[in-house]
């Protein structure tokens, strides 16, 4: 397994990380343990969870903590705070406040069964709290040894730049990573966020790299999806599918057939080859999916492969400015 730099943290993370979103919702403790064991056996050292994941709040953290057990110190453990489920607003109002952060980190440490978190990420921006206050509270956690490094998730380019400026002016620790939606079918962050991240030595952690299964190759347009699949639960893929997306998938598969690579190889291998990507966070529901993702990341596309794939699935044009 290739290891890549996690921004300017000094940490080296596996090119494919394990997304733990399904723990507690789809995977019980036995399934979680099997997935974690498979990930460790495959060389994955980066595990990403959040306090809002799972059935009951925090259940995913608890399942992951028990599954890691004594092997916890072998991994780079990342979790998030400040998000909520079942609301139109995914971010908690005040979820970046010092009081909220102080409570959240203690709860996560307890559920994960550890005394430190390697990467603590603000899950969603909090407009109700000045960034300076959020960073100061997080800096205190680093000083206390409860957290090693800081990251953000779902920040846009302007928010990431503002956080960097606030960290410098306040002389606090800065974000080393930015976790955002990013895939061959969702390349929007390349326009503005990626250049800022590169300038600040912030590693990109893509989530939804397979667009909830659309880029795995196991679904076909117009065909009935497997009964136990996410596409079946969402009645055909929901917002993840459209005629244009199906057309792009078909072109990617056609190119893969010419070079002897699967759609999964192309989706993960292309992302992992991007110099700004630290680790591709892929959620799974079985050990077999872990092994398939790791195998896909072992492909090293040539410069020609990268260019041809990018041309098939280009960065979409920016939306016109209001009134433009």
pLDDT (tens place) for every residue of the chain, 324 residues total = 899 999 999 999 999 999 999 999 999 999 999 999 999 999 999 999 999 998 778 999 999 999 999 999 999 999 999 998 876 788 889 999 999 999 999 999 999 999 999 999 999 999 999 999 999 999 999 999 999 999 999 999 999 999 999 999 999 999 999 999 999 999 999 999 999 999 999 999 999 999 988 998 876 776 666 666 565 555 555 677 788 889 999 999 999 999 999 999 999 999 999 999 999 999 999 999 999 999 999 999 999 999 999 999 999 887 665 555
Contact by Cβ (8 Å): 39, 30: no
Q: Which residues contact 81 (CB under 8 A, 6 or more apart)?
A: 50, 51, 95, 100, 101, 104, 105, 108, 120, 121, 122, 123
- In terms of C-beta density within 10 A (0-12 exposed, 13-18 middle, 19 or more buried), how is residue 59 classed? buried
Helix (H, G, I), strand (E, B) or coil at 158: helix
Rg of the chain taking only CA atoms, in angstroms: 19
Helix (H, G, I), strand (E, B) or coil at 208: coil
If one looks up domain 3-214+264-300 in CATH, what number appears?
3.20.20.100
53: annotated active-site residue: yes
Tell me the sheet residues that pair with 205. 179
Out of 53, 100, 120, 182, the active site residue is 53
Measured between alpha carbons, how far is 148 from 40 in angstroms, rounded to an integer?
21
* Element (DSSP H or E) covering residue 90: none
């Amino acid at each position: 397994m290739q290891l890549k730099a996690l921004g300017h943290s000094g940490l080296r993370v596996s090119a494919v990380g394990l997304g733990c979103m399904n723990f507690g919702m789809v995977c019980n403790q036995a399934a979680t343990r099997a997935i974690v064991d498979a990930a460790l056996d495959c060389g994955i050292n980066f595990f990403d969870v959040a306090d809002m994941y799972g059935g009951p709040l925090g259940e995913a953290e608890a399942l992951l903590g028990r599954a890691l057990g004594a092997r916890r110190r072998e991994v780079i453990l990342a979790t998030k705070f400040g998000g909520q489920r079942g609301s139109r607003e995914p971010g908690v109002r005040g979820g970046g406040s010092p009081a909220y952060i102080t409570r959240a980190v203690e709860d996560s440490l307890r559920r994960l069964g550890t005394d430190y978190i390697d990467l603590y990420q603000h899950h969603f921006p909090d407009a109700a709290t000045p960034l300076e206050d959020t960073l100061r509270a997080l800096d205190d956690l680093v000083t206390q040894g409860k957290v090693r490094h800081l990251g953000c998730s779902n920040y846009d380019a302007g928010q990431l730049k503002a956080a960097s400026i606030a960290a410098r002016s306040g002389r606090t620790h800065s974000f080393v990573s930015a976790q955002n939606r990013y895939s061959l079918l969702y390349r929007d962050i390349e326009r503005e966020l990626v250049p800022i991240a590169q300038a600040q030595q912030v590693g990109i952690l893509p989530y939804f790299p397979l667009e909830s299964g659309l880029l795995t190759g196991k679904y076909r347009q117009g065909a009935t999806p497997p009964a136990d699949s996410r596409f079946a639960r969402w009645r055909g893929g929901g917002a993840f599918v459209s005629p244009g997306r199906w057309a792009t998938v078909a072109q990617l598969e056609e190119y893969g057939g010419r070079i002897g690579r699967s759609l999964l190889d192309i989706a993960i291998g292309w992302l992992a080859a991007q110099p700004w990507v630290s680790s591709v966070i892929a959620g799974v529901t079985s050990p077999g999916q872990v092994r398939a993702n790791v195998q896909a990341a072992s492909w090293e596309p040539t410069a020609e492969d990268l260019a041809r794939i990018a041309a098939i699935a280009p960065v979409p044009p920016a939306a016109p400015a209001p009134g433009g």
